[in-house]
Amino acid sequence: MTHYLDNAATTAIRPAALEVMIPLLTDGYGNPSGAHRMARAANRVLDDAREAMAAALGAEPGQIVFTGGGTEADNLAVTGVVEAMGGVPVCSAIEHHAVLDPVVHHGGRVVAVDGSGRVDLDRLTAALDDRVSVVSVMMANNETGIVQPLREVVAIVRERAPRAVVHTDAVQALCWLDVAELGAGVDLLSVSAHKFGGPKGVGALVVRPGVELTPLLKGGGQERDRRGGTHNVAGIAAMAVAATETVAERAQQVSRVGALRDRLADGIRDRLDGVVESGVPGSDRSGKTANICHLCFEGIESEALLFLLEKADIMASAASSCASGAMEPSHVLAAMGFDRALAFGSLRLSLGYRSTEADVDAALATVPAAVSRLRERA
C-alpha cells in the first residue's frame, strides 16, 4: 500500500472535480469565445466557475483571471505590474521561485526573514520607498508551512510605498487558511487548482479594481484582455468545484489533519535525537498550516532518506533543489539561517484531505528506523 505524504507538491483530484470534467471533455467541448450554442454553453460554465472561485477567494467574479496554474498567476502578478507601472518589485526571501525569480529578473529587492521563517517587518519597511510598484509576500510557505503576517505587511506597504500593489501567493493556503479573510486587504492573490483537489494546469489570479496589469499572454483578448488564450473549460470548472468543497470542509479538515500532523511530528521527535522542526518554538505549531511536518535530521542527507522511504512505499519530499549541477539546500532554509549540513537532511511530510491514521502509522514505523540506519552508515 502506498502512503502518499507529499500533498504540498500536489493532491489527488477530488471525485466531484473529476466528475464535472469528463462530460466537458467528451460532449461540452465548445470554445467559450464562439457564438453558437455549444460555445454559449461553455461560456456559461465559465461564468458559473468564476462566481464559485470569487466566493471561495473573497472576490467579485469580475476580479477572477483564469490562468494555466500558480506559476503563471505569480508571474502575471509580478511581471504584469512591473511592465504596466515600471518601478521596483519587492518580495521575501522565502517566496516560491515563481515569485522570487521574476522579482530578481526585474532588479527587485529581496527581504530577509527571521529564524522562524517569517518576513522581517523592519527590513521590509526599510526596503520600501516611492519607487516600489509591487510587494509580494506569500500567505503560507510551501516548504515549512509558516504563515506570514500578511495584515502587517499590507499596513506597512500602504504607509511606506502607497503607489505599490500587494500580491500574495496563496497557492499553499486554501485548504488550511481563510484565504478570503486573510487576503481581503491585498490587491493580487494567486491560487493553483492541483493544491486543493483540482486538476493540474489551471489556476487563478484575483485582480482588485485599479490594479494596472500588462498581460503576459497576448492573443484573443480573453479574460478582459488580461490573459489571452482559449480557456481550459473542463479544468476551470473542476477547479471551482474543488475550491467550493475545500472551503466547505476546511474547518473539519484543519482539525483532523492537524491532529494527524501533530502525532506524526511528535512521534518522530520522540523517537530520535538530533531533529529540528522548522518554525516551531518548542512544540507550538500554531503559526503553521495544519498539513506540513517539516523536519531536519542531523547526520544524514535527504536523498538517501527519500530512497529508503520510497522503498517502504512512503512518498515524501526533501524540499530541496538542485542548482548548477550541485545539490544545494533549500533557499527557504538558507534564508532562515539553517546550518548547511542540517539543511541537507530536510524532510517534508505533507498531509491532505485523503490522509489517514494508517499513513501516519507507516511513517512513524519507517522514518526513525531509516534515519537511524543512515546515521549508522555515516
Q: What is the pLDDT of residue 327?
A: 64
Runs of H (alpha helix) within 12-143: 15-26, 37-57, 70-85, 97-105, 121-127
What's the N-to-C CA distance of the chain in angstroms? 30
Task: Check whether residue 256 and residue 346 sit in a common domain.
Answer: yes
Same domain, 184 and 130: yes
* CATH at 314: 3.90.1150.10
Question: In terms of DSSP bridges, do strands 326-328 and 321-323 run parallel, antiparallel, or are they unpaired?
Answer: antiparallel
Q: Determine the pLDDT at residue 280.
A: 87
* CB contact at 8 A, 171 and 27: no
72 and 170 inside one domain: yes
- Number of Cβ within 10 Å of residue 369's Cβ equals 14
CATH number for 183 = 3.40.640.10
The grid cell for 242 is: 474543488
Q: Which residues contact 184 (CB under 8 A, 6 or more apart)?
A: 58
Same-domain check for residues 331 and 353: yes
Q: Are 78 and 213 in contact (CB under 8 A)?
A: no
Domain boundary among the residues 245, 269, 300 is at: 245
Same domain, 270 and 237: no
CB 317 within 8 A of CB 305: no
Q: What per-residue confidence (pLDDT) applies to 281? A: 80
Question: What one-character DSSP code corresponds to residue 177?
Answer: S
Rounded Cα gap, residues 97 and 361, in angstroms: 33
**Helix ranges (DSSP H) in 108-220:** 121-127, 150-160, 179-182
Give yes or no: residues 167 and 117 share one domain. Answer: yes
- 226: its cell numbers: 488580461
**Mean pLDDT, 10 residues at a time, over the chain (378 residues)?**
97 98 97 96 98 98 98 98 98 98 98 97 98 98 98 98 98 98 98 98 98 95 95 98 98 98 98 95 90 97 97 90 55 95 96 98 98 94
Nearest residue to 168 via CA among 193, 194, 141: 141
Phi then psi for residue 133, to 5 deg, are -110, -30
Q: How many domains does the chain have?
A: 2
HSE, side-chain direction, 13 A CA sphere, residue 186: 30
Tracing cell 468564476 back to the chain, one arrives at 50
Verify that 29 and 101 share a domain, yes or no: yes
From the CB of residue 35, how many other CB atoms can be counted at a distance below 10 Å?
8
Is 240 in the same domain as 256? Answer: no
Residues 170 and 280 placed together within one structural domain of the fold = no
Answer with the one of 245, 276, 305 that is the final residue of a domain: 245
317/238 Cα distance (integer angstroms):
26
Residues with active-site annotation = 322
298 Cα distance to chain centroid = 27
**The pLDDT value given to residue 328:** 77
- Helix intervals (H) in 214-295: 222-225, 233-271
By residue range, what is the domain housing residue 297? Answer: 3-9+250-377
Same domain, 241 and 258: no
Co-location of 231 and 262 in the same domain = no
Q: How far apart are CA 335 and CA 212, in angstroms?
A: 31
CA 377, chain centre distance (Å) = 36
CA distance 103 to 335: 16
Report the residue count for the chain.
378
User: Which residue, 245, 280, 315, sits at the end of a domain?
Assistant: 245
**Residue 236 and residue 256 in one domain:** no
Q: What secondary structure letter does DSSP report for 138? A: -
Where in the chain does DSSP place strands (E)? 3-4, 64-67, 88-92, 109-111, 132-136, 165-169, 188-192, 203-207, 275-277, 292-297, 314-315, 321-323, 326-328, 346-350
Are 290 and 257 spatial neighbours (Cβ–Cβ below 8 Å)? yes
Q: Which residues of 265-296 are buried (b: 16+ CB within 10 A; e: fewer)?
A: bebbbeebeebbbbbbeeeebebbbbbbbbbb
Grid coordinates representing 332 are 527557504
